[in-house]
A = this chain, B = another copy of it.
Amino acid sequence: MDGANSRDRELRQRAEAVIPGGMYGHQAVGLLPDDYPQFFEKGEGAHIWDADGRRYLDFMCAYGPNLFGYANPQIDAAYVRQLGLGDTLTGPTALMVEMAEAMVGMVSHAAWAMFCKNGTDATSMALTIARAHTRKKTVIRAKGAYHGAAAWCTPRPTGVIETDRAHQIFCDYNDVASLEEAVRQAGDDLACIFAAPFKHDAFIDQAEPDLAYARRVREICDQTGALLIVDDVRAGLRLARDCSWSKIGVQPDLSSWGKCIANGHPISALLGAEKARKAAAAIYVTGSFWYQAAPMAAGLETLRLVRDTDYLERITALGERLRGGLAERSKAAGFALRQTGPVTMPLFLFDDDPDLRKGFCFSSEMLARGVYVHPWHNMFLCAAMTEADIDGALDAAEGAFGVLKRNVRDLAPVEKLAFLSAGAR
């Protein structure tokens, strides 16, 4: 293994000198098994190559953005074509109108769209619009739910001060009683309720939205005038060709989008219902690159593929094949593997694995077999995956379960995840 990751090691050393901590944010591998590479060099279809040239079937899909395959020829051609015409200009192009029309045409609750760069831009705009619309301050959101990394919502609040988080009340996702208690606490000051489309917190089992909970959120917003915000940045387009909660018949007032709406090209969006339009027009938000034309060209091509192909049915079938196959193979090896969340955004956790030592061993063995899985964050399927890819991943899993079975009694504790067993999360 020594020479095999020499380029990654060299890059980490250089990064240590010029990047704080060597790397930051969600793509830092500090909380992954030690053999996970930090640096990559290539992506094509469903595969990535690390800096040492090793190829993996990638179940992270860039943490979501890759929906139609890395370096998708049609989508990237649209980007490059527009780049030659004009990208970041002194004003927007017609593509901004077309992209807004396309998203409004696709998402049932939406009457308008605003584009930005980060998912966090979209959720932060949603919060500001809700406060402008209601002239109230309090936001209710679920404990542990990720809605971005600005001061008001970042999961690790170092450098964040108390006032950044003022007027926020937390409830438990899917727990109507705790929701109602939060609403009671908000009194007559409720501006909005945030909801992930399903519970996709890190480190724990995922959970589908409970219909009673979703309906109660809608009802409370209707009664109080607060806005219901579905944060579809992570899950958007992997559950539905519409807002993810359209599947359970609950329409939000605002929905945030990003990640894969241009298949990895940088654009995010906030969509809104008619009643929030005036407030949306009244706030001041902007960014140097928000009106870039090339990501919108790529987005239009992505949305065309969303409309015109069976990508959703295909990734769903692939996800079911993966889930069924893993259930079979884990059972055969004698492991209780909990597979939670939608099949297109799976998370695997082992029973009796408080510091994830089983998960780390399994993931490392998958990696060694050319399959990149994540031990504690939900994964993502993409339309470039094939049945043969899934079957290959299942073969890898069979091997990984075998190694795990032989070594399970001697696995070392995962020091870096000791906080999990300590109940820190």
Contacts and interface: CB of A to CB of B under 8 A. Distances in A.
Interface of A: 7, 11, 14-15, 17-21, 23-27, 29, 37-44, 48-51, 58, 60-66, 70-71, 76, 79-80, 83-94, 96-97, 100-101, 104, 111-114, 117-121, 124, 127-133, 137, 149-152, 154-161, 163-164, 166-167, 233, 258-259, 264-266, 268, 272, 277-292, 295, 372
Contact of A20 (B97, B166, B258, B280): B280
A20 B112 contact: yes
Contact of A97 (B18, B29, B155): B18
Contacts of A124: 150-151
A333 to B, nearest CB: 27
A162 to B, nearest CB: 8
Nearest to A286: B25
Given A19-B112, A21-B281, A163-B163, A41 B94 contact: yes
Contacts of A23: 92
Given A97-B14, A97-B19, A154-B285, A291 B27 contact: yes
Given A114-B19, A286-B25, A287-B117, A93 B167 contact: no
Contact of A90 (B114, B277, B372): B372
Contact of A83 (B15, B71, B372): B71
- The complex is assembled from copies of this chain, and their number is 2
B40 A92 contact: yes
Contacts of A119: 287-288
A391 B353 CA distance: 73
A59 B68 CA distance: 39
A149 B70 contact: no
Given A18-B100, A159-B282, A265 B88 contact: yes
Contacts of A259: 288
A206 B184 CA distance: 51
B158 A132 contact: yes
A117 B289 contact: yes
8 contacts: A11-B94, A19-B96, A24-B281, A27-B92, A37-B91, A88-B266, A128-B160, A154-B284
Nearest to A22: B281
Q: Which 7 A-B pairs have the closest CB atoms?
A: A25-B286, A132-B159, A21-B281, A156-B284, A88-B264, A20-B280, A128-B159
B137 A94 contact: no
Contacts of A282: 158-159
A268 B129 CA distance: 25
Nearest to A258: B288
A392 B366 CA distance: 64
Contacts of A71: 83-87
A149 B24 contact: no
Contacts of A84: 71, 76
Nearest to A61: B90
